[in-house]
Amino acid sequence: MLAACGARVVVLDREPAGELPAGVEEAALDVTDETAVDAAMAAVAERLGRIDVLVASAGIAIRRPATELPLDDWQKVVDVNLTGVFLCARAAARHMIAAGGGRIVTVASIMGVVGGGAYPNVSYQASKGGVINLTRALALEWAPHRIRVNAVAPTYVRTRLIAGLLADAEVLAELERRTPLGRLAEPDEVADAVLFLAGRGSAMVTGHVLAVDGGYLAQ
């Protein structure tokens, strides 16, 4: 969606994204690797001339009850979902400060706001709650540098992250029941929110968490 609006987009991920639309490039990156993150952001800034927008969207989930969650699994989720956001935001902000400003959009979750849910997911919820307050803290710290930092907090979205859940008809029905609008979100609906926070229409918005949740958090 960003590319369709004229942005030059680089997707940074551990795995190839597959077929990409025009205007989108890709490069390999593990967001938990501090050295690699700094190098990747420097390479993007050098190749494109600047970094105007960062969308920090890498995320994983390991769904287990807290009493059965190994520390290694807890750490994996926190490393990707929270530390990875910090490392990418910090690296991008260094280039944005030098260029006179920018926009950072983090991807949190409704699970970063509530403690309940259809199943235990404590490491994911803790990490996304951290993303929300990290977003607010960075928004205040970097406001003097004309860097806006906001978050989107989606509900359940039809992506690979929850493909296993959606294969169970009973779980899908329960997720839809818990959502006032009665359905899951589509990726484009989250992308619309990202586009708004990355664009001129949100020029006076920073430190905000925009829920894309079909009314989930209004309950």
Radius of gyration of the chain from Cα atoms?
17
Tokens 């803790």 correspond to 126
Contact in structure between 106 and 150 (CB atoms under 8 Å): yes
The active-site residue, picked from 119, 124, 156, 216, is 124
Alpha-carbon distance values, 14 to 29, 30, 59 (Å): 5, 5, 11
Alpha-carbon distance values, 31 to 11, 67, 144, 170, 189 (Å): 12, 28, 26, 34, 25
Indicate the burial class of 134 (C-beta count within 10 angstroms; 0-12, 13-18, 19 or more): buried
State the DSSP H helix or E strand holding residue 4, giving kind and residue range, or none if neither.
none
119 is catalytic: no
Q: Which amino acids are annotated catalytic? A: 124
